[in-house]
Structure 1
Amino acid sequence: MHKVIAIGDVHADWDTLWQALRAASCLGLDGLPTPPVRAGAYQVILIGDLVHPKSAAGYAHLTGLDPFDPLEPEHVRLAARAQLGPLEQLRAYQQAAPHAVHILLGNHDAAALDPRFLLGTGGGLTHPEFDPEHGGLPLPPHLHAWMSSFPREVRLGGVQFAHVSPLPQHVHYDDLFYSDRSSKTWFRDTPEYVTMAGLGFGVYGHTPVEGGVRLHRDDRGRPLFALIDALHEREYLELLWDEGESGAVRSVTEISF
């Protein structure tokens, strides 16, 4: 039996990420994995989108600039530099237990690696900090190589962890992805995709969840999938997973911290 700690989209909210890892007994005082993580008894999965604060307030908190102006190059470069230190810390954490700490590639991470798409919010906030053509700084080569190695899904038996959904087209962050509304609506319109993919359970992020982790059950009341983009609500997901022949999820719990 293994414990899986799945944490939703970070979006540069580093303080809350460290607090969640400490609450889950996964982060030691030295900033590195605790013995249960190193031993593989605890599996840590970050669902992606490490970079780009979600709001102007998030950028102001990150940079100390209020208001933060995404059109001002010095503000943008400061936002980039403010994210590099925590990325270095997370890289050291993950590389201390690569068998037990898994980080998925989110669409914001992909945009930092290859800034063909200038991502933004419905309110007009853009995320140019790693795009030199918009005043930002490129990721340093070693961080670029590390983030480029992130998988697009992790599977433990019949349990899938992916950034967006169980659909194969939702792991390629291209023009089609950004023009397809289903990445934000699939869980309401077609939740049966999880069963159709032959999965016993799915864990996904990408769509912010208000009120905490959202657990979806099938018609029989059995857990089908969870939406966990809820770090901003100070919640993460804890699963007990049987690595035996069944590969079954024994329990699913939303944890507040």
Structure 2
Amino acid sequence: MLKVIAVGDVHADWPALWAALRAASCLDAAGRPTPPVLAGLYQVVLIGDLVHPKNERAYERLTGLHRFDVRDRDHLLLAAREQVRELERLREYHAAAPHAVHLILGNHDAAVLSLDHVLGTGGGLVHVEFDPKRGGTLLPEGLRRWMEGFLRELRLGSVQFAHVSPLPAHAIYDDLFYSDPSSKRWFRETPEYVRQAGLSLGVYGHTQMPKGISINRDAGLCLIDALHARQYLELLLDPAAPDPVQGVRAMPF
């Protein structure tokens, strides 16, 4: 039996991530994996989008600035520096238990690696702190190599963890991905994709759940972009069982 702790899109909300891992007994006082994680009894899954705060207020919390200005190069460099520090901390956590800590590549993470797309919000904020052509700075090479190794999906038996959906096309963050609205709608319009993929359960992020984690047992679907609601997902799994999901619940922290 495994306990899986799955955390939704981080978007540089590092205090919330560390608090969730502490609450799940996955992070000790020194910031390292706890004995159950080191033993592989607890599996930690981060569903993607580690970088890029979601809005200007989140950038201000990250940087300590009274008003974040994306046009100010010093502000961009500060936002990049703060994220780099925490990414380094997460890399050390991952390196201590790579068999039990799994990192999914989100589209925001991929954008930082490729610089092919400038991502932003409906309010006009753009995420350019890691784009030197727009006043930012490149991600350090060590972090780049680490993030290039992130997974596109993780499967534990018939349970899948991916950033967007069970569709392979939704794991390729190209021009088609950004022009296709289905990445934000599929779970409402075609939730049967999970069962059609032969999965007993699919766990995804990418689309924020305003009211917290959404669990649809009939469709075999969990949507966990809910770190803002201070929730993570806890699964009890027996990967060898015909129905591996022995328990699933949203956990507050």
TM-score, length of structure 2 as denominator length: 0.98
CA distance in 2, matches of 1:208, 1:245: 31
Match of residue 106 from structure 2: 106
- Answer yes or no: is the 8 Å Cα contact 1:156–1:247 preserved in 2: no
- Give the structure 2 partner of residue 143 of structure 1: 143
Q: Which residue of 2 aligns with 1:68?
A: 68
Structure 1 residue 217: Cα displacement: 3.0
Partner of 2:21: 21
Deviations 1:170-203 (A, max 9, x none): 0000000000000000000000000111111000
- Residue 68 of structure 2 aligns to a residue whose secondary structure is coil
- Match of 2:242, as an amino acid? S
Structure-2 residue corresponding to 1:237: 233
Who is 1:169 aligned against?
Answer: 169
What's 2:220 paired with? 224
Look up the match of 2:187. Answer: 187
Match of 1:50 in 2: 50
Question: Is 124-133 or 68-77 further displaced after alignment?
Answer: 68-77
Letter matched to residue 22 of structure 2: R
Q: CA deviation at 1:66?
A: 2.2
* CA–CA separation in structure 1 for the residues paired with 2:243 and 2:93: 27
Give, in whole Å, the separation in 2 of the partners of 1:66 and 1:168: 41
Is residue 157–residue 247 contact of structure 1 (8 Å, CA) maintained in 2? Answer: no
Structure 1: 4+ residue segments shifted above 2 A? 243-247
Deviation at 1:77, TM superposition (A): 1.0
CA contact (8 A) 1:209 1:229 kept: yes
Would the aligned equivalents of 1:157 and 1:246 in 2 still touch at CA under 8 Å? no
Q: How many residues align?
A: 253
Deviation at 1:73, TM superposition (A): 1.2
Q: Using the TM superposition, give the Cα deviation of residue 247 of structure 1 relative to its aligned residue in structure 2, in angstroms.
A: 6.2
CA contact (8 A) 2:163 2:171 kept: yes
Deviations 1:201-243 (A, max 9, x none): 000000000111001132xxxx611000000100010000003
Matched ranges for 1:5-16 at <5 A? 5-16=5-16
> What per-residue deviation string (whole Å, max 9, x for no partner) do you get for residues 33-55 of structure 1?
00000000000000000000001
Residue of structure 1 equivalent to 2:242: 246
User: Quick one: distance in 2 between partners of 1:247 and 1:224?
Assistant: 11
What's the counterpart of residue 153 of structure 2?
153
Q: CA RMSD in A?
A: 0.9
Instruction: Name the amino acid aligned to 1:207.
Output: T
Q: Distance in 2 between matches of 1:31 and 1:237?
A: 20
CA drift at 1:245: 4.6
* Cα distance in 2, alignment partners of residues 179 and 211 from structure 1: 27
What secondary structure is seen at the aligned counterpart in 2 of 1:128?
Answer: coil
1:94 matched residue in structure 2: 94
* Alpha-carbon distance in structure 2 between the residues aligned to 1:51 and 1:163: 14
Between the aligned partners of 2:35 and 2:224, the Cα distance in structure 1 is 25
Which amino acid in 2 is paired with 1:174?
Answer: D
TM-score, scaled to structure 1: 0.97
Q: Is the 8 A contact 2:158 2:239 kept in 1?
A: no
| Contact 1:5/1:44 (<8 A) preserved | yes
Identity of paired residues, percent?
62
**Once the 2 structures are TM-superposed, how far is the Cα of residue 74 of structure 1 from its aligned partner?**
1.2
The letter for the 2-side match of 1:95 is: A
Question: CA contact under 8 A between 1:236 and 1:254: conserved in structure 2?
Answer: yes
